[in-house]
Amino acid sequence: MKTSFISKSGNNLDMVIICNDKSTLQKTPLDDLESKQVKSDWSKKIKFSIITRGSKKLLVYKLDVAKSMDQGSEMARRVACVCNKELNRYKISKAEIFFDIDNSSEKLAFVEGLMLSNYQFLKYFSEAADKKNSLVEIVLYSNQLTKNEITELEHIVSGVFTARTLVNEPLSYLTALQLSKDIEVLSKKVGFRFQYFDKKKITALKMGGLLSVNKGSIDPPTFNILEYKPAKAKNKQPIVLVGKGVVYDTGGLSLKPTPNSMDLMKSDMAGAAAVVGTFEAIVKNQLPIHVIGLIPATDNRPGENAYVPGDVIKMHNGMTVEMLNSDAEGRMILADALSYAQQYKPSLVIDLATLTGAAVAAIGKEGIVAMGTAKDNQMNQLKTAGSKVHERIAEMPYYDEYDSYIKSDIADMKNIGGPTAGCITAGKFLERYTKYDWIHLDIAGTAFLTSEDTYKGKNGTGVGVRLLYDFLKNYK
């Protein structure tokens, strides 16, 4: 979506006018009759008015009173989604946005919501042009938002769209190798360092978790390393982002059922997608922070010489795992990546993964399950970012007693716990491979939606990109 700026209204465009309870409408481009109609709607508690001015449409929306700045911004994003649908319903290609509100955060959040709501994944439709949204440009007032604010926002949204598209791609296109190739193309386009290891190199590194999961597949695994290190980075030690890259998860020999389970599992690399999208956003906006991304990638199938429940696997850090459920594969590949991250002497490591159904059972799609060994100020900064962008963090209890849940009779640990506390025991498994400040984010409930949820849309949401960008931008 293109964005342009004007100094005053030309009264020749379709228009969206955003108001609040303090609006008198006197400063808006509405004439007396139009203002009277809107105020009449407000008196009837109708907050959304559609006015026809010749061949043009004027959409007027009154925002609710927010209890906090974060809530006000989220309301603005959700209203923007409603407006986006109306603009596209009326086949409007270019719309002027006028704010009769003073809160700059709500103004920017509205534009963000409008942009995010315009995402489409049409690659595989034979008549994609007929389905394409009409809205291609919004016009803003130069005295209401700055070009720098909008440019930064456009880059963040582009990162979200990249993540969404990666998640939405089927395995028939997005194998582990293709994921590496797509990241390589992006790295050259936006400007970050990238390399990936092939199966021979992964074998030499003794990444037993990644290799074991890949044993059931005819497609080779990859291990991807992304790095952005600006000349004047504010951190002496890098922050490492680790993303689970299971490009498709059948469950392996612990086979998943198909309906509402395996049929959604092209999304099991949403953690990887979030890391890629975050890199796009931070590099385009040239954040002064040194960040490394690690993405172990493979599909999880029951074919070939697939590993079986009961096998013992030696991991990258030399520890052994009794594998009792091949559908708990994400932690196996993440463990190798977390172990590999140690060589960078990171100040903080954050992993993102669609890891457990237990996370979905615990909090649904309303937030991200979190836990780890990071310092309180690091976790609190992430929570602040989560509240700001409405990718909220739900920190789980992380008692030492949970360690006993993954005790094995024949190896250093087993890859599943018991019937309870599943998302926590998964975190406890991963902790065994960390020797640094670390946060684990289970995005299983938020990464892929089977029904539309406002500006997040349907299917891949790109969750994690906006969260990590805001966190990294403000990290202290």
**Residues contacting 197, CB < 8 A, separation 6+:** 205, 222, 223, 224, 225
The DSSP call for residue 269 is: G
Per-residue pLDDT tens for 57-93? Answer: 999 999 999 999 999 999 999 999 999 999 999 999 9
pLDDT digit string, tens, across residues 364-413: 999 999 999 999 999 999 999 999 999 999 999 999 999 999 999 999 99
Same fold, 2-145 and 155-473: no
Instruction: Answer yes or no: are the C-beta atoms of 1 and 136 closer than 8 Å.
Output: yes
HSE-up of residue 33 (Cα within 13 Å, Cβ side): 3
Nearby residues of 113 by Cβ (< 8 Å), 6 or more positions away:
76, 77, 78, 79, 80, 81, 84, 454, 455
pLDDT for the residue numbered 211? 98
Please name which of 189, 208, 205, 209 lies closest in space to residue 197, comparing C-alpha atoms: 205
Active-site residue, from 331, 392, 428, 432: 331
First to last CA, the chain: 33
Neighbour-count burial for 230-249, b at 16+ CB within 10 Å, e otherwise = eeebebeebbbbbbbbbbbb
Edge-to-edge strands, sheet with 320-322? 312-314, 320-322, 413-414
Check if CATH label 3.40.220.10 holds for domain 2-145.
yes
Q: Has residue 12 got a pLDDT over 90?
A: no
Are 415 and 335 in contact by the 8 Å Cβ rule? The answer is: no
Of the candidates 436, 297, 333, the one whose C-alpha atom is nearest the C-alpha of residue 378 is: 436
Domain 155-473 maps to which CATH number in 3.40.630.10, 3.40.50.970, 3.40.50.450, 3.30.67.10? 3.40.630.10
Residue 318: its pLDDT value, please?
Answer: 98
Residue count of the chain, please give it. 476
What pLDDT is recorded for position 261? Answer: 95
Of all residues in the chain, the percent with pLDDT exceeding 70 is: 100
- Model pLDDT, residue 142: 85
Provide DSSP, 216-265: T-SSPPEEEEEEE--TT-S-SS-EEEEE-EEEEE--TTSPPPTTTTGGGG
Q: How confident is the model at residue 3 (pLDDT cuts 50, 70, 90)?
A: very high
In the set 256, 314, 383, 473, the catalytic residue is 256
- For residue 246, what are its two tokens? 């299971």
Give one DSSP letter per residue of 36-74, joined into a string: HHHHHHHHTT--EEEEEETTEEEEEEEPPPPSSHHHHHH
**Residue 88 zone, left/alpha/beta (φ > 0; ψ -120 to 50; rest):** alpha
pLDDT surpassing 80 at residue 11 = no
Query: What's the pLDDT at 9?
Result: 74
Q: Which residues pair with 295 in a beta bridge?
A: 224
Q: What is the pLDDT of residue 346?
A: 98
Strands 94-99 and 137-141, bridge-based pairing: parallel
pLDDT at position 7: 86
Q: Taking 70 as the threshold, does the pLDDT of residue 10 lie above it?
A: no
- Average pLDDT value over all residues in the chain: 97
What are the residues whose beta carbons fall under 8 Å from the beta carbon of 116, sequence distance 6 or more?
Answer: 77, 80, 81, 157, 160, 455, 456, 457
What span, in angstroms and rounded, lies between the C-alpha atoms of 100 and 61? Answer: 10
Other beta carbons within 10 angstroms of residue 104's beta carbon come to 13
Q: Classify 394 as helix, strand or coil.
A: strand
pLDDT at 23 over 80: yes
Question: For residue 293, is pLDDT > 80?
Answer: yes
Residue 177 sits at the vertex; the CA angle it makes with 173 and 179, to the nearest 5 degrees, is 65
Tokens representing 97 are 């946005």
Confidence (pLDDT) at 412: 98
Closest CA relative to residue 112, chosen from 86, 145, 143, 69: 145
Radius of gyration of the chain, Cα coordinates, nearest whole angstrom: 24
Q: How far apart are CA 259 and CA 449, in angstroms?
A: 14
Residue ranges of domains in the chain: 2-145, 155-473
Q: Which residues pair with 369 in a beta bridge?
A: 394, 442
Judge whether 331 counts as a catalytic residue: yes
Active site residue 256: yes
Q: Do the Cβ atoms of 272 and 173 come closer than 8 Å?
A: no
pLDDT band at residue 8 under the 50/70/90 scheme: confident
Asked if the model's pLDDT at residue 39 lies above 80, the reply is: yes
CA–CA distance, 91 with 85 (Å, rounded to integer): 10
